[in-house]
Structure 1
Amino acid sequence: MKKCFKFVIMTALALAFSLQSVNAQSILEKNTVFAANTEGIRSYRIPGMVVTTKGTVLAYCEARKNNSSDWGEIEVHLRRSTDGGKTWELQKKIAHTGVRFEGNPTKKKDGETEQTVNNPVAIVNRQTGNIHMLYCINYSRCFSMRSNDDGITWSKPVDITATFEPFRMKYDWNVIATGPGHGIQLKSGRLVVPIWLAYGKPGEHKPSASATIYSDDHGKTWKAGEMPLPNEGEMGNPNETMITELSDGSVMLVNRNVSKANRKLITISPDGATNWTKPYFHQQLWEPICMASIVSHPSNLGTLIYSAPHTLGLDAAKKEIPAGRGKRENLSIKLSRDDGKTWPLSKTLEAGPSAYSDLAVLSDGTILCLYEGKDVISLARFNLDWLNEK
C-alpha cells in the first residue's frame, strides 16, 4: 500500500513538473519609468531599485535638474509600483527636502548655490519590513533615512558621515559616495552597503578606492568595514561597487575600475566587512568603465543574475575579441549557476545606448532590470525562460 501511495505521489509530481514545463512562457516586457525633460528635470541617471517585503517595487534615481553632470543641482526621485513594475505611481522627490547644503567645487560661476544630492542606495530590512535609504550630498556628507510604510513616507535624515572617518587612516578623502544601486541584508540580519571614496582634489572622482559600511542594529548606527579594494598595484581606481550574498552566506563585491585588465574586480568576505579575499579580475566580466549590477535568484542555490554593457569587438569569424573596454551600449544579462565562478550565458537586453542598471527579483522569480537608455530610465521585466531562450 505504501509503495502504491509513493508511486501515485511521484507520478503526480512528475506530471506537475511536466505541465509546468509545457506552460513555461518566455517573458520580456519594458516600460519607461523616468524620461528626460519631464517634471522640470533635464536628465535622470544612476538608477536603483528594491522590492519590499510586501512586494512593492521602489525605483529611484538622481534627478539632474539643469544638465547631465555628476555635479550640479541634483535631487533624488522615487516611483512606486504595486503590480510588479507594470505600472507606476507618480514620482516624487524624497531625499533631503529640508536644510540645503550648497556648494559645487567644480563650477566657478553659481556653483556655490547648487546642492548635489547623489548616489541613493536602498536596503530592505526583511526582519522589520522597513526600507533604509542612504545618500550623499555634494559627495562630502552621507545621510540615512527610513520608511516604515513601503516607501510612501520617509523619516528625517540622520547624518552618518562620521562612519567614513576610519577610512582616513589610509586615504584622506575629499569625496565619498554610496553604491550606487542597492545594498543588501545578510541572513544574519546585517545591513551592508558598498561605498567608494576619492582622495584627489575637491570635486575630482579619482584617485579612488572602495569598501563597505554596515549596520548590526537595523540601521540605527553604521560602521566602516575593512578596505578590500585599495588603489594599489593593478587595481586602477576602484570605485562603483555592487554586492550580493552567495549561497554559503559569504558576500561578493563586483567592482568597477580603470585597469589594463579591462575586467571587473571581485573580492569575497565571510561577513561583508572583514577578511576579504585578495581581489582578482574576473575574465568573463568585461569592464566598459560603467556600473554593473548583480542579484541572487531563488530558483536554485548559487544562481546569480548580472547586468552590464557588453560590446567587445568581433574578429573575422564574428567571434568576440576578449580585449578592450567596449562602449556603454548593448546592455546584456548574464547568468551564473555556481555563485559567479563562471558566466556561461549572456543575452542582450537593450541593443542601443545603455549604461547604469540595477537588478531585483520578485517573489515569483520574475527578474527586474532598471536601466539607463537614451534619454530614459526604463524597466525590463523578464524571466529565466526568456534568458535561456535561444
Structure 2
Amino acid sequence: MRALWLTMILLASGPGSAPAAEPVLEKTDLWEAGVGGYELYRIPCLIATSRGSLIACCEARKSAKGDWGQIDVVARRSTDGGKTWSPSGKIVELKGTFERNPAAVAQGLGKPGEVTINNPVLIADRQPGLVHLLYCIEYGRCFYSRSEDDGETFSTGVEVTAAFDAFRPEYDWKVLATGPGHSIQLRSGRLVVPVWLSLGTGGHAHRPSVTSTIFSDDAGKTWRRGEIAVPNTSEFINPNETTAVELADGRVMLNVRTESKVHRRAIVTSSDGATGWSAPRFDDALVEPICMGSLVRWSWPEEGRGGRILFSNPDNLKRRDGKEKAGSGRDRVNLTVRLSRDEGRTWIGSQSLEPGFSGYSDLAVGPDGSAWCLYERGSTDGKNIYQTRFLTVARFNEDWLTAR
C-alpha cells in the first residue's frame, strides 16, 4: 500500500505569537489499476461505522472498457483510523444465474458470460456493528445485504427489485442504479437511498433518466419507492447519480448530477426523504462537470462546532478575477471539498484535494470528527478520465479546509 503523507503545519507570524492550528491532509492509495487481477477500480463508496471502523468499497472491473462487463464489488476496512487497511476482498458473492440486461445487449455493451455488479451503496447504522449494503446486478436488479459484525462479513443478498418495479406505471425503466456512494440513516431511523432509473435507449444505456429514492423503515427488511424527485426535462437533463444529507430541520436534501447546459448541481428537498419533493433548482456555487459528487453531515448545530456539511466533486471551471474560463464542461479535474455552515445554503470554505485528473468521490466523517474522502485520481494513460489509475483515501480537518 502506497501512502502519501501530506501533513501541513502553518505557524502564525509575528513576534511572540503562538502557533496557529495545524491543517492536516493525509492521503493513502487503496487500489491501483492493474493490481489484484483487475484492470480498473472505480465508483468509490466510504463510510465510518458507529464503532469507528472505516469501510471503503468500489467496483473492481476486469476490463477498463466501460460500465458493463465482468465487475465485482470489493472492500477494504480499517479499525485504526486509517493507519492500516485489510486486504482487498469481494463482499458480494453471486449465487444462481443472471441474465444480461437487454438494454445493454441491444447496444453491444458487455460480453456473453459476463456479469456486472454495480453501484455498491453502504449505510452506517447507528446500531453498533450494523452496516447495510445495497448493490445492483446488470443494472436491472437490486439486492440488499447486511453486516452485523461491523463490516467484517456480509450476508447473502436478498432481492429488493420490487421496490423499483413500483415505479413502472409512472416510468417504465429498463436500467436502474443505486447511489453511488454512501447513503444515510435519518434521525428517525429511516434508511434513505438515492436511486436513478433510465429508459435505456440513450448513451451507455444510462439515458434518458430520472432520480428518486427508495427507503426502509424496518432496518432494511423491506424497501419502498419514493416519489420521482427530479424528472428529465429540457432544463434538468438526465438527472442521475445523487447524494443525500439530512438537514437540521429534518428535511432531506438531494444533490443531483445532471447534464444540464448551465453546468450546475441540482438541488431538491423533502420533509421525509421520499415524498413532497420541492421544485428542483440549480446551486450556482456548485459546478457540475457531469460527474458524481458527495455530501456528508460533518456535525449537527447542537454539537459545539455548529452545523457543518461537506460537499465534494471536481470543480473544473477555473476562476480568475471571479470569472469562469470557457471549457468543455466535462473535464474531471481539480477535485474540491467545500464547507457549508448554513445547511447547504452557501459554501464558505473550499480546498482543492486533487488538482489534476480526479473524478468520483465519497465523503465520510469518523467518530473523532476527522473528515475522509475516497476518490478517483490520475489516469492510466494520462488522457482518459474514465480510466482512473488510483482510488485514494484522504483524511483532512477543518483547519486544512479553511486555510488560505
TM-score by length of 1: 0.90
Quick one: structure 1 residues 42 and 247, their matched pair in 2 at CA, closer, same or farther if it must change by over 3 Å? same
In structure 2, the residue matched to 1:17 is none
**Mapping of residues 1-390 of structure 1, within 5 Å:** 24-103=21-100, 105-106=104-105, 108=108, 111-127=111-127, 129-201=129-201, 204-298=205-299, 300-314=305-319, 317=321, 319-321=323-325, 325=329, 327-374=331-378, 375-390=389-404
Quick one: structure 1 residues 389 and 273, their matched pair in 2 at CA, closer, same or farther if it must change by over 3 Å? same
**For the residues of structure 2 that align with 1:68 and 1:28, how far apart are their CA atoms?**
33
Q: Deviations over 1:195-251 (max 9, x none)?
A: 001013396100000000000000000000111111124110100000011111211
Residue pair 1:310, 1:326 contacting (<8 A) in 2 also = no
Residue pair 2:69, 2:109 contacting (<8 A) in 1 also = no
Aligned residues: 369
Residue pair 2:120, 2:133 contacting (<8 A) in 1 also = yes
**For the residues of structure 2 that align with 1:249 and 1:300, how far apart are their CA atoms?**
19
Quick one: structure 1 residues 109 and 328, their matched pair in 2 at CA, closer, same or farther if it must change by over 3 Å? closer
- Structure (1 or 2) with the greater helix fraction: 1
Residue pair 1:96, 1:117 contacting (<8 A) in 2 also = no
Partner SS, residue 367 of structure 2: coil
Quick one: structure 1 residues 110 and 372, their matched pair in 2 at CA, closer, same or farther if it must change by over 3 Å? closer
Partner SS, residue 240 of structure 2: coil
Per the TM alignment, residue 156 of structure 1 is displaced from its structure 2 partner at its CA by 1.2
Q: Once superposed, what is the RMSD of the aligned Cα atoms?
A: 1.9
**For the residues of structure 2 that align with 1:363 and 1:314, how far apart are their CA atoms?**
35
**For the residues of structure 2 that align with 1:285 and 1:324, how far apart are their CA atoms?**
16
**For the residues of structure 2 that align with 1:314 and 1:285, how far apart are their CA atoms?**
13
In structure 1, the residue matched to 2:10 is none
| Identical columns (%) | 50
Residue pair 1:175, 1:199 contacting (<8 A) in 2 also = yes
**For the residues of structure 2 that align with 1:377 and 1:169, how far apart are their CA atoms?**
39
Per the TM alignment, residue 324 of structure 1 is displaced from its structure 2 partner at its CA by 6.5
AA partner of residue 370 (structure 2): T
AA partner of residue 357 (structure 2): P
Per the TM alignment, residue 356 of structure 1 is displaced from its structure 2 partner at its CA by 0.1
Residue pair 1:242, 1:253 contacting (<8 A) in 2 also = yes
Structure 2: gaps (5+ residues) = 1-17, 379-388
Structure 1: gaps (5+ residues) = 1-20
In structure 2, the residue matched to 1:13 is none
**For the residues of structure 1 that align with 2:19 and 2:401, how far apart are their CA atoms?**
17
Q: Deviations over 1:265-318 (max 9, x none)?
A: 000111111111111001001100000001111263431111100121445x58
**For the residues of structure 2 that align with 1:175 and 1:110, how far apart are their CA atoms?**
14
Per the TM alignment, residue 365 of structure 1 is displaced from its structure 2 partner at its CA by 1.2
Residue pair 2:129, 2:151 contacting (<8 A) in 1 also = no
**For the residues of structure 2 that align with 1:369 and 1:331, how far apart are their CA atoms?**
10
**For the residues of structure 1 that align with 2:396 and 2:201, how far apart are their CA atoms?**
43
Per the TM alignment, residue 65 of structure 1 is displaced from its structure 2 partner at its CA by 0.8
